[in-house]
Amino acid sequence: MNHKPWQKWLLGIFRLIIFILACYFIFQVIQQNITALKALEIKHKILFSGTFIVAHAIYIVLIMTLVFAWLVLLKFREPQRCSKIYFKSQIMKYLPGNIFHFMYRHQQTKNNSFTHKQLGMAAFYESLLLVMAAFILANLLFYWPDQITWLTDWLPVPFWAIVLMEFVGAVFMVRLLINTGVLTALTSYLFYFVGMGLITYILIGALGFESQPYLFMTACFALSWLAGYIIPGAPGGTGVRELAFILLCSPKMAEHEAIVIIALIRLISIFSEMAIYFMADKFSRPYRHLSAWSGKTMP
């Protein structure tokens, strides 16, 4: 759908306002915790350095999982070429507009094997399933209702009603889209968020912060990722995602610790995606074996 110039201008202003507000809140939190941040000391530097490297390796594996899900939605056609394009597109989500990774992927993938409609539907299913996976794992937060009263007080319906709606929606979607690769892709996206939860968990341990429940951290990351994905703001969800993560974690976790963790996750994602961009050809080679499945669909 084409937007009129004034609509694009208004949307741009709205995105800028959200980004500025998110950054302002983060700045205020940093100011309030500046003493604690300055006093922060890594007791086991070797352990932290090793964990930081392991976190990068885990993140790269998780991106490879996202690539696999994308190939499933494309029915494994030209897997090596398409995976290389996906790897290179990841770094482009940080460009202004937050859409260039989609545009690059679509433009580079389009050829005689793929129509615009096929690529558009694959991108639609990818976004829909990522949101579903994040939302499913975000429900884990309800195991700690006392920690998220600021969120539950705003819910228009009880928790059980939300779970029921999710269940009915999931059953309907599975029946509607059976044998289209949706279940396989959704499982891959759930694996991605579970892995990101693991990264947050091991970083907390490596920094010597107070231990937090793994499922709680996974749910916090999933919901903060979701906020950064669907709320207009800066490229890559910058600002919005950090704001949501701090708000979600701070009841159980010290604010300055939440700031450090989400900042490290942002650094890990940027550095890893830069490495992936330059090594896309190498990372895409294992996917050539999936060409044997070309044209086939997964559950």
What is the reported pLDDT for 181?
79
Each residue of 169-182: pLDDT tens digit?
Answer: 777 766 666 666 78
Question: CB of 26 within 8 A of CB of 250?
Answer: no
Please report, in tens digits, the pLDDT of each residue of the chain (299 residues total). 455 666 667 766 766 676 676 566 656 656 665 665 566 677 888 998 999 999 999 999 999 999 999 999 999 999 999 999 999 998 888 766 567 778 888 888 887 678 888 888 889 889 989 998 998 999 888 887 676 666 666 666 666 677 777 777 777 766 666 666 788 999 999 999 999 999 999 999 999 899 999 999 999 999 999 988 887 655 555 678 888 898 888 878 888 889 889 989 988 888 899 899 999 999 999 999 888 887 766 66
Dist CA 254 CA 183 (whole Å): 37
CA angle 26, 31, 37 (to 5 degrees): 95
Percent pLDDT > 70 in the chain is 73
**Can you give the pLDDT at residue 58?**
98
Please tell me the predicted confidence (pLDDT) of residue 79. Answer: 92
H helices within the chain, ranges in order?
5-32, 34-39, 45-73, 79-89, 100-109, 116-138, 149-152, 159-176, 182-207, 214-230, 240-249, 255-278, 280-284
Task: Record the pTM.
Answer: 0.84
pLDDT of residue 1: 46
Q: So where are the chain's domains? A: 42-285
On whether the CB atoms of residues 222 and 197 are closer than 8 A, the answer is yes
pLDDT in tens, 229-275: 887 655 555 678 888 898 888 878 888 889 889 989 988 888 899 89
CA 230 to CA 7: how far, in whole Å? 18
Q: Which of 127, 126, 182, 170 is nearest to 298 (CA)?
A: 182
pLDDT in the model for residue 291? 84
pLDDT at 142: 80
